Amino acid sequence: MLKLQSSLRKLKAKVPMYRLFLTIFLWFWSTALGMLLLIWVGFLFTGLKEITAPNMYATVAPILAAEAVHAYESGGPQEFARFSQSNMNNPENHLLSDDHAERRLYLLDGFYKDVLSRSVSDDGLRTARAAKIGKLIVFRGHIAAYKLISPAGHPYILVLYIRSGLGELKHFLLGHGLPFAISMSLLVTIFCFLLAYHIVSPINSIQTTARKVAQGDLKARVPASVSKRYDELAALAKDFDSMVGRLDLLIQTQKNLLNSVSHELRSPLTRINLCLALLKKSSSADEEGTFQRLDRDVARIDLLLEQLLTLSRLESGLSSAQRQDVDLVQLVEEVVADGNFEAHMVNKSVSLRAPDPIILRHADPHALRSACENIIRNSIRFTKPGSEVQIVLGLDRDTSGVQALLTVRDHGPGVPEESLQAIFEPFFRIPGDANSIGGNGLGLAIAFEAVRLHGGTLHAVNLHTTGLEVKLQLPIGDGNAE
């Protein structure tokens, strides 16, 4: 079963089996088959055509015509009438065995007059005039004419009504036309499939690249095979790559600026701390309050610079330590214990439920700890006094594999729907939110980058009653797939 699902995923990755692909394929396929059917039906039922051997009609017509002429010349009109009646009632005669056929048989002389003095329709006369010696001519699939010269040297034309239109179509499809119909249908299907794939595949490639960009990979580009096409999709791919390149340049410039400013400020800030320490020793008791305010302000600046450097490092894809196997349950338990200690001071609490052991392969423990701390501390800040921040850590098994799922729920005011994704951006604050005054808008941004560095996802949803739920998903490799 797993092998079948893997094969289907590989096929889906190569062939974009989506609604647009199916729509284009079915439109081309039905149109092509419809046109072929109309052309064939038009060819079959309009105009005159010559039937040659080995067609059954071309083989039987000369024999039937010769017998009809012999009956007429040997016994006159009465004998031909008996011959015609006998052949029309003979079920073994394939030319006249269709139940929907008009059972009429004519023998015309050189002046196109029926030997039984019956009137001949205009279509019958048209077919008779087109007949040539030794050639079977069919008009619209149901009137046939065959011309021959009798042993006495008189020209005759046998006009007969063979199968009706539906009977002729049925005979063709069930006879020699069946392999032709199957071959044409298969050819049209392959052609339409390749044409639909040629149109939709570049769109699928651009869409896949756009999703990577939306997830933060600004180095993603549309495959070169799309850009080398000579159509509008190639121009779209080039414009898309140009846009992403420009965005990458602007964002990198901003990151470099923040990183440079942060580094440049660390040295002056260190000197300010040293000067404050020296001034405290020589200051009087009256100035103690002033120095305390200065200490708090410098500490806030120091924390801000530290967070900026951490964010810059994570955005650049740099780990703060060597990668190793991390016991995620133990890491979260330590963070929850610290958070619960701080929460009790403000009449709040934190609970954890982690039923499964989870080991992350080749992970950065410092980055993960920073991510969990920022998420949990943010929930503690916003949850109501007297409430509990509920944390659940477990395994999530889906079609993409096994992942670690950390869910953090608080009982705070929640976030406006339009800001659910923006809260993970640097320096973002919800307008008019009094609880956000003490923060700097970097905690969730650091958590987001730390999770992205490990190939995971982080998103938030509002709970139905009150509060916010933050879900963190991380791929864990093969160690927990039992």
Residue whose structure tokens are 């900026």: 308
The two structure tokens encoding residue 144: 């046939």
**CB neighbours of 368 closer than 8 A, spacing ≥ 6?**
326, 328, 331, 360, 450, 454
Q: 365-382 and 328-344 are packed helices; what angle lies between their axes, rounded to 10 degrees? A: 30
**CB neighbours of 397 closer than 8 A, spacing ≥ 6?**
403
Q: Rounded to the nearest 5 degrees, what angle is found at the Cα of 406, between the Cα atoms of 401 and 407?
A: 120
**What's the confidence (pLDDT) of residue 386?**
92
Indicate the burial class of 269 (C-beta count within 10 angstroms; 0-12, 13-18, 19 or more): middle
**Identity of the amino acid at 232:** E
Q: CA distances (Å), 252 to each of 46, 219, 306, in order?
A: 71, 11, 19
**Identity of the amino acid at 385:** P
pTM of the model: 0.48
**What's the confidence (pLDDT) of residue 191?**
77
Tell me the C-alpha distance between 172 and 132, whole Å.
24
Q: Are 80 and 72 in contact (CB under 8 A)?
A: yes
**What's the confidence (pLDDT) of residue 380?**
93
Q: Which letter does DSSP use for residue 432 in this model?
A: T
pLDDT tens-digit profile, the chain (482 residues): 555 555 555 555 555 545 666 777 777 777 777 777 666 665 555 567 777 666 666 778 888 888 888 888 888 888 888 888 887 655 555 444 444 444 678 999 988 999 888 888 888 888 888 888 888 888 766 788 889 898 888 899 988 876 554 455 455 444 555 666 677 778 777 877 777 777 777 888 888 888 888 777 778 888 888 878 877 788 888 888 888 888 888 777 766 766 676 666 667 777 777 777 777 777 666 666 777 777 777 777 776 767 666 766 666 665 555 778 889 999 999 999 999 999 999 999 999 998 888 898 888 888 888 889 999 999 999 999 999 999 999 988 776 678 899 999 999 888 888 888 888 888 777 765 655 555 667 888 888 888 888 888 898 999 888 889 999 999 886 544 44
- DSSP labels, 3-54: HHHHHHHHHHHHS--SHHHHHHHHHHHHHHHHHHHHHHHHHHHSSEEEE-TT
Q: Are 304 and 442 in contact (CB under 8 A)?
A: yes
Q: Which helix (H) or strand (E) holds 105?
A: strand 105-108
Q: 443-453 and 365-382 are packed helices; what angle lies between their axes, rounded to 10 degrees? A: 140
Q: Are 116 and 81 in contact (CB under 8 A)?
A: yes
Q: Which letter does DSSP use for residue 114 in this model?
A: B
The two structure tokens encoding residue 135: 């050639």
Tell me the C-alpha distance between 23 and 193, whole Å.
11
- DSSP labels, 49-95: EEE-TTSHHHHHHHHHHHHHHHHHHHHHHHHHHHHHHHHHT-TT-GG
H-type alpha helices, 316-409: 328-344, 365-382
**What's the confidence (pLDDT) of residue 295?**
74
Strands (E), 117-208: 136-139, 143-149, 155-161
Residue whose structure tokens are 């199968």: 163
CA dihedral (347, 353, 358, 361) positive or negative: negative
Q: Which letter does DSSP use for residue 231 in this model?
A: S
Residue whose structure tokens are 């995971």: 456
pLDDT tens-digit readout, 279-292:
777 766 666 677 77
| Beta-ladder partners of 58 | none
Q: Are 376 and 391 in contact (CB under 8 A)?
A: yes
**What's the confidence (pLDDT) of residue 99?**
43
Q: Which helix (H) or strand (E) holds 237?
A: helix 232-282
**What's the confidence (pLDDT) of residue 438?**
54
